[in-house]
Structure formats: structure tokens, C-alpha cells
Amino acid sequence: MRVFINAAPVDLPPGTNVRGALLVHDPALADRAAAGTALVTDARGIEVSLDAPLAAGSILRVLGRARRGPQETDADA
């Protein structure tokens, strides 16, 4: 089945989950998503679980998450 990750087509076996798709597309991106430093959303911008199964034609977007240092607060921004 074909899915799209950040607009790139990726061919996968049926039943592959989000984590598996990211591993095929870009293992480093999969590591970032697993570590919580990247956010995975569907085509509507809704966050999806790495364990969510995919269907043919699924569209995923992977976005970097901003990280604050330990001393920063909202008042510092």
C-alpha cells in the first residue's frame, strides 16, 4: 500500500503502523518521533499515535517540536 510522509510516497505492506512507516521512510525521523522531539499528524493536523495502523493513501506530516531549556518559563519568552 502507498502512504505519504511529508509529501513523499512510501510503499509499505498492508497493516503497517505509523512507526513502521517512519522507519521505512527515515529511521532518524522515527527515532525523533519515538523520543517525542517530533510530532506526527494526519492530513488534518491531528496528532496520531505511532502505533496507529495506516490505510492506503494515508497522509502523515512530521513536525519538529520546540524544546525549552530547564530554566525558561512562559514569562521568559
Is position 44 within any domain?
Answer: yes
Is position 39 within any domain?
Answer: yes
* Domain that includes residue 37, residue range: 2-65
CATH number at residue 43: 3.10.20.30
Which long-range contacts link 20-27 to residues 24+ away (Cβ below 8 Å)? 21/54, 21/58, 21/60, 22/50, 22/60, 22/62
- pLDDT of residue 77 exceeding 50, the answer is no
Is position 12 within any domain?
Answer: yes
State pTM to two decimals: 0.81
pLDDT greater at residue 77 or residue 62: 62
E strands, the chain, where? 2-5, 8-11, 38-41, 59-64
Is position 70 within any domain?
Answer: no
- pLDDT of residue 17 exceeding 80, the answer is yes
**Residue 69, pLDDT score:** 47
Is position 74 within any domain?
Answer: no
- Model pLDDT for residues 19-76, shown as the tens digit of each residue: 999 999 999 999 999 999 999 999 999 999 999 999 999 999 999 876 654 554 555 4
Is position 72 within any domain?
Answer: no
- Please tell me the total count of domains within the chain: 1
The DSSP bridge pattern shows strands 8-11 and 2-5 to be antiparallel
